[in-house]
Amino acid sequence: MKLKYDIYATQSGSEIIYPYNLYEFVDIKQKKNDRYTFEDITDAELLSSSIYPFIEADIPNLNYSQSLIEITPIFSESKYYQQWEVGLIDPVILEYDKSLEWNSIRVKRNELLQDSDWVLLPYSPITGSKLDEWVQYRENLRNITNNDNPFEIEWPTKPE
């Protein structure tokens, strides 16, 4: 196969079809020439049939309150270019997402507290300044839900 691109697109009426299934192109060609195969396709042949390369755009980095929508690709220089639009998540959905995230954080926090309960037992080998580090670590875990944003949590480092 002599193709230069991974994805192709075509237009049907006002709709842009991508990824275009090149096997459809082969089926059409095979009706005219039964020896035509997938390996026979060339970019020039696709262009002459109004099938164009589709260039994917990098997905933008988003924060927790943003949404991403793929919008109509731009056609330029015989190629379709993918386009993204960044928007804001609906406030009701955002609050729901936050509540789910807070639930996950509480579960993890409780597991970490439970995993460190042994440090506070009377027969624990941890004493002195190391015990103080563990006590501070556990306090930081308990306070983690005092943060405003569950998507920007910095977990405390477990003492060694």
Q: Does 112 share its domain with 127?
A: yes
Q: Does 15 share its domain with 70?
A: yes
What is the model's pLDDT at position 39? 87
Residues 6+ positions from 90 with CB-CB distance below 8 Å: none
Q: Does 75 share its domain with 139?
A: no
Residue 50 has pLDDT above 70, yes or no: yes
Residue 3 has pLDDT above 90, yes or no: no
Identify the band that residue 160 occupies on the pLDDT scale cut at 50, 70 and 90: confident
Q: Does 83 share its domain with 95?
A: no
Lowest mean pLDDT among 2-6, 57-61, 104-108: 2-6
Nearest Cα to 158, choosing from 135, 130, 129, 137? 137
Q: Does 50 share its domain with 104?
A: no
* Alpha carbons 108 and 155: distance in angstroms, whole number: 10
Lowest mean pLDDT among 39-43, 94-98, 112-116: 39-43
Q: Does the residue 3 lie in any domain?
A: no
What is the model's pLDDT at position 32? 87
Q: Where are the beta strands (DSSP E) in the chain?
A: 8-12, 15-17, 51-55, 66-76, 79-88
pLDDT, mean over the chain: 94
Among 88, 116, 134, the domain boundary falls at 88
3-state SS record for 22-38: HHHHHHHHHHHCCCCCH
Identify the band that residue 156 occupies on the pLDDT scale cut at 50, 70 and 90: very high
Among 67, 88, 109, the domain boundary falls at 88
Q: Does 96 share its domain with 84?
A: no
Residues 6+ positions from 131 with CB-CB distance below 8 Å: 119, 124
Residue 2 has pLDDT above 80, yes or no: no
Nearest Cα to 53, choosing from 22, 23, 31, 94? 22
Q: Does 143 share its domain with 95?
A: yes
For residues 1 and 38, is the Cβ–Cβ distance under 8 A?
yes
Q: Where are the beta strands (DSSP E) in 32-153?
A: 51-55, 66-76, 79-88
pTM value surpassing 0.85: no
Q: Does the residue 76 lie in any domain?
A: yes
Domain that holds residue 124: 91-152
Q: Does the residue 1 lie in any domain?
A: no
Lowest mean pLDDT among 31-35, 121-125, 147-151: 31-35
User: Each residue of 102-136: pLDDT tens digit?
Assistant: 999 999 999 999 999 999 999 999 999 999 999 99
Q: How far is CA 104 from the centre of its chain?
A: 19
Say how many C-beta atoms besides its own lie within 10 A of residue 46's C-beta: 20
User: For the chain, how many structural domains are there in total?
Assistant: 2
Q: Does the residue 115 lie in any domain?
A: yes
Q: Does 80 share its domain with 100?
A: no
If DSSP codes are grouped into helix, strand and coil, which group holds residue 60?
A: coil
Among 57, 88, 119, the domain boundary falls at 88
What is the model's pLDDT at position 1? 58
Residues 6+ positions from 14 with CB-CB distance below 8 Å: none
What is the model's pLDDT at position 72? 95
